[in-house]
């Protein structure tokens, strides 16, 4: 055995063993690059930023560098900060200046596009100012921070606008029928049909449908069950704490019906064929699961070129890259029924959604309106708030308020809960007038006669169409507010009214010894008085009609 012997005076170093194991890996090329005056977002779009050149040279160079670093910080979703930078550029183009000062901010904040993105713009200027003090003047930054945010407009989807609010059941069913009809007639392919049906069923955002992968449709055996449990794992969106990158939010898992699963199997084979045509060789099962659920041949070609030229990567090893997925804008156009084919912006490819029974015009469809519609449908089925919030992919029930506000349903629930107690108060005479007692519903039943005691005499005022709770109280006063009351046209209803008015006068008077008023709080006979007055008016109208016919 060889032992390494050493002394304190002569230390011996061990041989180098994998010392480079913790070397910083080579960074992947950024998704954001400057090409001259153009900011390129690889695979998404370009932004001409030539107006920034009016800034001082040093500020211009600093701006270019910090635009990239701010985007890579991951604080905001890519589309959010991209639109914020575009708003700053447009404001600078409209009001050129050598520096971002108070005068420029005062003009910029009046622009709707700038004001609506104030929160992101403030974050960018504070980020830049912390690293480059000359980015913006202090008074301009303070004014921007303290300025009021843009007033939120009332959501059109929560209004009663038939073209903006939630869809009725008839409109929703019409969209489903039209989607399947277009598929059966060959007007739309499997991909377009599956996108629309997923939106109609789950009301997911366009970006969630765009980022779906084949592996997100899972057919794993359920625990302890012999049958399989089919699930779809939607990538989350807009989660708090997420890095706002590609598929970095929590998954939203939902069961899948057979008809959607069958369509997915067809779509899966179509996507597989597209990629295998490019590869020239079959795909393995793990590779197949990495592929996007929705894509096109053009999208695949563009992704291969970008991965090869910009990223210098072997695209076969990067089949899970976001570039193979459709942009959410294209998916949104499909869900809006703006096109039946991907990338077709001509009027010939524009489909016609079914007509609305409310407006007589084609139904206006978008993902947000669909989310409100499904939230309302599920809530009316009795789904509790926390379950509905989970179904929508929210982490807080507070977010539900932006999607669900159904006053009509709330009113119905209140009515169901209170109608038993309120019915005696709310009921009013809606029955038919009797020219004589023979016309009554219960003409041969002496117990149906309703009499009023006036000056020690009982006077017939009508008939009761059906025994109810009010027949046991002080007849016939409550009967005038009952829908089963059948008053006689020539009955002395004026005497009933006189008695009620007299009693109300006594109630309104001060308490006197021997008086009719017994309670400290006076009884309100107003509803009874108005009911008798309404009955008298109808009887008088009937009398005039009978007299006219007699003449």
- Closest listed residue to residue 253, CA positions, set 395, 398, 381, 393: 393
Rounded CA-CA distance 211/239 in Å is 15
- Closest listed residue to residue 329, CA positions, set 343, 340, 319: 343
pLDDT greater than 70 at residue 345: no
Length of the chain: 551
Instruction: Give helix 367-380 / helix 407-426 axis angle, nearest 10°.
Output: 40
pLDDT greater than 80 at residue 162: yes
391 CB-near residues (< 8 Å, 6+ apart):
254, 378, 383
How confident is residue 241, by pLDDT bands cut at 50, 70 and 90? very low
pLDDT greater than 50 at residue 55: yes
Which pLDDT score is estimated for 469?
Answer: 47
Residues 530-545, mean pLDDT to the nearest whole number: 89
How confident is residue 11, by pLDDT bands cut at 50, 70 and 90? low
Q: Is 475 within 8 Å of 450 (Cβ atoms)? A: yes
Q: Is 53 within 8 Å of 46 (Cβ atoms)? A: no
Q: Where are the domains of the chain?
A: 32-146, 169-365, 437-550
Percent of residues, the chain, with pLDDT higher than 90 = 35
For 172, other C-beta atoms within 10 Å of its C-beta total: 18
Instruction: Find which of 68-82, 143-157, 296-310, 340-354 is predicted with most confidence, using mean pLDDT.
Output: 296-310
Rounded CA-CA distance 551/544 in Å is 11
Residue-wise pLDDT for 169-184, tens only, equals: 999 999 999 999 999 9
Taking the model in full, what pTM does it have? 0.65
Mean pLDDT, the chain, integer? 82
How confident is residue 471, by pLDDT bands cut at 50, 70 and 90? very low
Residues 49-78, mean pLDDT to the nearest whole number: 88
pLDDT greater than 80 at residue 8: no
Rounded CA-CA distance 413/453 in Å is 41
Residue-wise pLDDT for 487-526, tens only, equals: 889 888 998 899 889 888 887 775 555 555 455 556 778 8
Rounded CA-CA distance 75/162 in Å is 37
Which pLDDT score is estimated for 223?
Answer: 44
Residues 424-440, mean pLDDT to the nearest whole number: 71
Which pLDDT score is estimated for 239?
Answer: 59
Task: For residue 130, give both structure tokens.
Answer: 């912390």
Which pLDDT score is estimated for 474?
Answer: 66
More confident residue, 236 or 107: 107
175 CB-near residues (< 8 Å, 6+ apart):
167, 196, 200, 353, 354, 363, 365
Residue-wise pLDDT for 378-427, tens only, equals: 887 777 777 888 888 876 666 676 666 666 667 777 777 776 566 555 55
Q: Is 126 within 8 Å of 141 (Cβ atoms)? A: yes
Rounded CA-CA distance 66/72 in Å is 10
Residue-wise pLDDT for 243-279, tens only, equals: 456 777 788 899 999 999 999 999 999 999 999 988 8
Residues 194-207, mean pLDDT to the nearest whole number: 94
Distances (CA, A) of 133 to 48, 124, 129, 315, 449: 25, 13, 5, 42, 93
The neighbouring-strand residues paired with 251 are 235
Say which residue the tokens 């010392």 belong to.
19
Rounded CA-CA distance 484/139 in Å is 75
Distances (CA, A) of 306 to 75, 298, 299, 322, 329: 25, 12, 11, 11, 19
Residues 299-303, mean pLDDT to the nearest whole number: 90
Q: What are the two backbone dihedrals, phi and then psi, of residue 437, each rounded to the nearest 5 degrees? A: -65, -25
Residues 447-467, mean pLDDT to the nearest whole number: 77
pLDDT greater than 50 at residue 224: no
More confident residue, 237 or 274: 274
């Amino acid at each position: 055995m060889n032992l390494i012997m050493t002394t304190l005076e002569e230390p011996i170093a061990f041989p180098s063993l994998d010392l480079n194991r913790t070397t910083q890996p080579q960074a992947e090329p950024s998704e954001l690059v400057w090409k001259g005056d153009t900011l390129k977002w690889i695979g998404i779009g370009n932004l001409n930023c030539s107006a920034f050149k009016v800034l001082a040279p040093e500020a211009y160079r600093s701006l270019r560098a910090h635009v990239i670093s701010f985007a890579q910080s991951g604080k905001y979703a890519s589309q959010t900060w991209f639109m914020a930078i575009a708003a700053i550029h447009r404001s600078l183009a409209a009001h050129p200046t050598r520096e971002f000062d108070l005068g420029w901010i005062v003009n910029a904040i009046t622009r709707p596009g700038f004001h609506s993105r104030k929160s992101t713009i403030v974050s960018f200027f504070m980020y830049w100012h912390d690293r480059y003090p000359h980015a913006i003047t202090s008074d301009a930054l303070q004014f921007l921070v303290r300025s009021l945010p843009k007033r939120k407009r009332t959501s059109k989807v929560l209004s009663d606008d038939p073209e903006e609010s939630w869809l009725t059941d008839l409109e929703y069913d019409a969209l489903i029928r039209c989607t399947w009809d277009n598929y059966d007639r060959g007007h739309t392919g499997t991909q377009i049909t599956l996108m629309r049906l997923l939106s109609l069923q789950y009301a997911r955002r366009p970006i969630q449908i765009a980022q779906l992968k084949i592996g997100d449709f899972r057919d794993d055996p359920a625990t302890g069950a012999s049958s399989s449990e089919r699930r779809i794992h939607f990538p989350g969106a807009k989660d708090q704490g997420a890095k706002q990158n590609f598929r970095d939010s929590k998954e939203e898992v939902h069961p899948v019906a057979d008809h959607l699963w069958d369509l997915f199997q067809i779509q899966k084979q179509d996507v597989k064929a597209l990629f295998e045509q490019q590869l020239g060789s079959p795909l393995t099962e793990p590779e197949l699961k990495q592929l996007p659920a929705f894509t096109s041949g053009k999208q695949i070609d563009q992704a291969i070129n970008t991965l090869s030229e910009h990223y210098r990567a072997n695209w076969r090893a990067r089949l899970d890259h976001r570039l193979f997925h459709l942009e959410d804008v294209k998916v949104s156009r499909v869900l809006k029924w703006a096109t039946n084919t991907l990338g077709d912006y001509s009027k010939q490819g524009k489909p016609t959604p079914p007509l609305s029974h409310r407006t007589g015009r084609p139904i206006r469809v978008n993902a947000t309106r669909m989310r409100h519609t499904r939230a309302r449908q599920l809530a009316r089925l009795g789904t509790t708030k926390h379950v509905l919030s989970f179904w929508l992919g929210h982490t807080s029930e507070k977010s539900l308020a932006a999607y669900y506000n159904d006053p009509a349903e709330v009113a119905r629930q209140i009515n169901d809960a209170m109608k038993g107690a309120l019915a005696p108060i709310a009921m009013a005479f809606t029955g038919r007038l009797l020219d004589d007692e023979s016309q009554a519903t219960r003409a041969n039943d002496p117990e149906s006669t309703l009499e009023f005691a006036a000056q020690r005499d009982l006077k017939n005022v009508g008939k009761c169409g059906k025994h109810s709770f009010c027949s046991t109280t002080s007849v016939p006063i409550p009967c005038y507010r009952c829908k089963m009351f059948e008053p006689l046209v020539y009955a002395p209803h004026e005497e009933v009214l006189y008695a009620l008015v007299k009693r109300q006068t006594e109630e309104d008077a001060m308490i006197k010894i021997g008086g009719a008023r017994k309670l400290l709080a006076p009884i309100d006979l107003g509803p009874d008085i108005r009911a008798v007055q309404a009955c008298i008016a109808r009887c008088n109208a009937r009398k005039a009609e009978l007299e006219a016919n007699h003449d």
